[in-house]
């Protein structure tokens, strides 16, 4: 039994919208009509048809074109072409087995804010570390404590900026990952200078722990790909 479908034809490699056609097909012939004009009428055995992800690639009379219809499954089933994908094969099989529920469409991916939350946690830990470092400097009698004064300010400001970057990322602003990466790299460099110039007083271990923890969380978030949807 023939099928009649609405479709669209465009030449292979053409980026234009193509031509609207009516598709009439059975097990032996494929016929395309545009308005009152016959586009083509071929014997199925005389043409080459390959199933694409959407539509069909057809080779006929030395020409090659892409045909899409409003029901590619019905056309593929009618003309007997082999399904190029398991998905299409299952949909063709479902036409012959009404008890099989139709395959659900691919769900739209839901944007996740886990990356933004992780980055905010990292910024919060760095802010806490900078605050503890300031307290340790205030009570320290070491001669090099004054030289660390600028570091606690840098960590507090950097942590606050990371929290701000996490908020910007959560609302879908582009380049948020780039900004977060630059901030995190600056914090890592600052932490390296701090540790290398410190005498590692035990009173500062808490501050170092919070800062290092924040840096580890930030690196884990950035390199896990959790921020990919926010760029």
Please check whether residues 216 and 132 belong to one and the same domain. Answer: yes
Over residues 10-39, mean pLDDT:
86
Pick 46 or 178 by higher pLDDT: 46
**Distance between CA 171 and CA 167 in Å, rounded?**
7
Total-model pTM? 0.43
Over residues 41-56, mean pLDDT:
85
Percent of the chain past pLDDT 70, that is, above it, reads 71
Domain range for 223 is: 114-230
Q: Which pLDDT belongs to residue 21?
A: 92
Is the residue at 101 inside a domain?
Answer: no
Please check whether residues 78 and 164 belong to one and the same domain. Answer: no
Phi, psi of 136 (to 5 degrees): -65, -35
Please check whether residues 89 and 119 belong to one and the same domain. Answer: no
Q: 170-209 pLDDT, tens per residue?
A: 776 667 777 778 888 888 888 887 777 665 556 577 778 8
Tokens of residue 71, six digits: 């029901």
Please check whether residues 136 and 182 belong to one and the same domain. Answer: yes
Count how many domains the chain has.
2
- Residue 147 belongs to domain with CATH number: 1.20.120
Please say which residue of 67, 96, 125 terminates a domain.
96
Please give the C-alpha separations between residue 220 and each of 35, 47, 61, 115, 121, in angstroms, as whole numbers: 60, 54, 57, 10, 12
Mean pLDDT: which of 62-76, 111-125, 196-210 is highest? 62-76
Measured over all CA atoms, what is the biggest interatomic distance in the chain, rounded to whole angstroms?
A: 96
Q: Which pLDDT belongs to residue 181?
A: 82
Residue owning tokens 């009439």: 24
Is the residue at 108 inside a domain?
Answer: no
Q: 128-169 pLDDT, tens per residue?
A: 888 887 776 555 544 445 455 567 788 888 888 888 877 877
How do strand 29-34 and strand 3-11 relate by DSSP bridges? unpaired
Please check whether residues 27 and 57 belong to one and the same domain. Answer: yes
Please check whether residues 30 and 135 belong to one and the same domain. Answer: no
Is the residue at 104 inside a domain?
Answer: no
Q: Which pLDDT belongs to residue 222?
A: 74
225: confidence class by pLDDT, cuts 50, 70, 90: low
Please check whether residues 147 and 220 belong to one and the same domain. Answer: yes
- Residue 34 belongs to domain with CATH number: 2.30.29.30
For the chain, give the mean pLDDT. 76
């Amino acid at each position: 039994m023939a099928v009649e479908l609405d479709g669209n034809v465009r030449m292979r490699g053409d980026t234009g919208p193509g031509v609207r056609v009516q598709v009439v097909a059975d097990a032996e012939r494929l016929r395309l009509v545009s308005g009152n004009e016959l586009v083509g009428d071929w014997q199925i055995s005389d043409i080459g048809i390959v199933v694409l992800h959407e539509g069909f690639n057809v080779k006929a009379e030395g020409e090659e074109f892409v045909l899409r219809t409003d029901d590619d499954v019905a056309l593929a089933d009618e003309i007997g072409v082999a399904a190029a994908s398991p998905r299409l094969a299952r949909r063709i099989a479902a036409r012959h087995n009404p008890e099989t529920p139709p395959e659900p469409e691919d769900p739209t991916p839901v944007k996740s804010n886990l990356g933004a939350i992780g980055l905010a946690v990292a910024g919060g830990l760095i802010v806490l570390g900078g605050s503890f470092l300031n307290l340790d400097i205030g009570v320290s009698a070491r001669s090099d404590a004054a030289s660390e004064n600028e570091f606690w300010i840098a960590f507090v400001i950097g942590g606050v900026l990371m929290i701000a970057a996490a908020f910007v990322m959560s609302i879908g602003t582009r380049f948020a990952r780039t900004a977060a990466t630059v901030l995190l790299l600056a914090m890592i460099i600052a932490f390296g200078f701090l540790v290398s110039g410190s005498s590692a007083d035990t009173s500062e271990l808490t501050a170092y722990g919070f800062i290092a923890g924040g840096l580890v969380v930030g690196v884990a978030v950035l390199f896990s790909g959790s921020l990919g949807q926010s760029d």
